[in-house]
Amino acid sequence: MTSTLRRRPAQRRSLERVERMLDECAFLLDEIGYESLTTKEVARRAEVPIGTFYQFFPDKQGLVRALALRNLEAFLGRVTERIKERITAADLGHWTDLVDLAIDEFVAMKRTTPGFAVVDFGEILRAPGGPAIEGTNRMLDTALENNAIVADRLRAITVDLLDAPAGPAFDRAVLVTVEAADAVLKLAFRVDPDGDPDLIAECKRLAHGYLAAHLP
């Protein structure tokens, strides 16, 4: 995966500065959107010199790329933790529970995580639910589309924790599911800024029906 930082923070103070810049970037995305976002304002809000900003990020696109990667890691961490909790409690009765859990975590982040309505896992939206800014479908890696990276990470979790069938057919099925779910969830947040509950339910139903042919 393409590196998102010019250099990695080695000291605690530097790490805290990077996190503050990412936090302020997220807040500003909600307040003014990507196109009005400036590196100068991010640095001012994070209380760091503009020179410090450019030590870590090449430009605002690099900053947003790092935020998208942080969002992805947070999402995958939350999904993994919840799956493990359900397994420990013997409360994961069917693979459809995993699908619902992942969709619910995504929706929760859309509703509560700063900046996530504009930039979730790389693609930059002009408004919640789209349309996307052209050319942002490969923000995380120039060789792969954002959804392909998300699908691969979710596939790895499924194979590792739920002993799902590994192989090209399952890889393709997870990618198709992620693409379809992404489209329906975008629609849900266009219809309702908080996510239309009926369309979210339809997203789950769609994923269940399609994956039923690939999972026991």
Over residues 15-61, the pLDDT tens digits come to: 899 999 999 999 999 999 999 999 999 999 999 999 999 999 999 99
pLDDT tier at 2 (50, 70, 90 boundaries)?
Answer: very low
Domain that holds residue 180: 12-211
SS3 content of the chain, % helix, strand, coil (to 5): 65, 5, 35
**pLDDT at residue 14, as a whole number:** 82
- The answer to whether residue 73 is domain-embedded is yes
- The answer to whether residue 140 is domain-embedded is yes
pLDDT of 1 higher than 60:
no
Interacting residues of 2 by C-beta distance below 8 A, sequence separation 6+: 65, 140, 141, 142
C-alpha 116/C-alpha 30 separation (Å) is 8
- The answer to whether residue 3 is domain-embedded is no
Over residues 161-214, the pLDDT tens digits come to: 777 778 899 999 999 999 999 999 999 999 999 999 999 999 999 999 999 988
Q: What's the total number of domains in the chain?
A: 1
* CB 114 within 8 Å of CB 26: yes
Query: What average pLDDT does the structure give for the chain?
Result: 91
The reported pTM is 0.91
pLDDT tier at 5 (50, 70, 90 boundaries)?
Answer: low
**pLDDT at residue 11, as a whole number:** 74
- The answer to whether residue 54 is domain-embedded is yes
pLDDT of 216 higher than 90:
no
Tokens 């010019």 belong to which residue? 6
Over residues 76-130, the pLDDT tens digits come to: 999 999 988 888 887 777 888 889 999 999 999 999 999 999 999 999 999 888 8
- The answer to whether residue 6 is domain-embedded is no
- The answer to whether residue 56 is domain-embedded is yes
For residue 39, give the CATH number of its domain.
1.10.357.10
**pLDDT at residue 4, as a whole number:** 64
Interacting residues of 156 by C-beta distance below 8 A, sequence separation 6+: none
- The answer to whether residue 4 is domain-embedded is no
- The answer to whether residue 55 is domain-embedded is yes
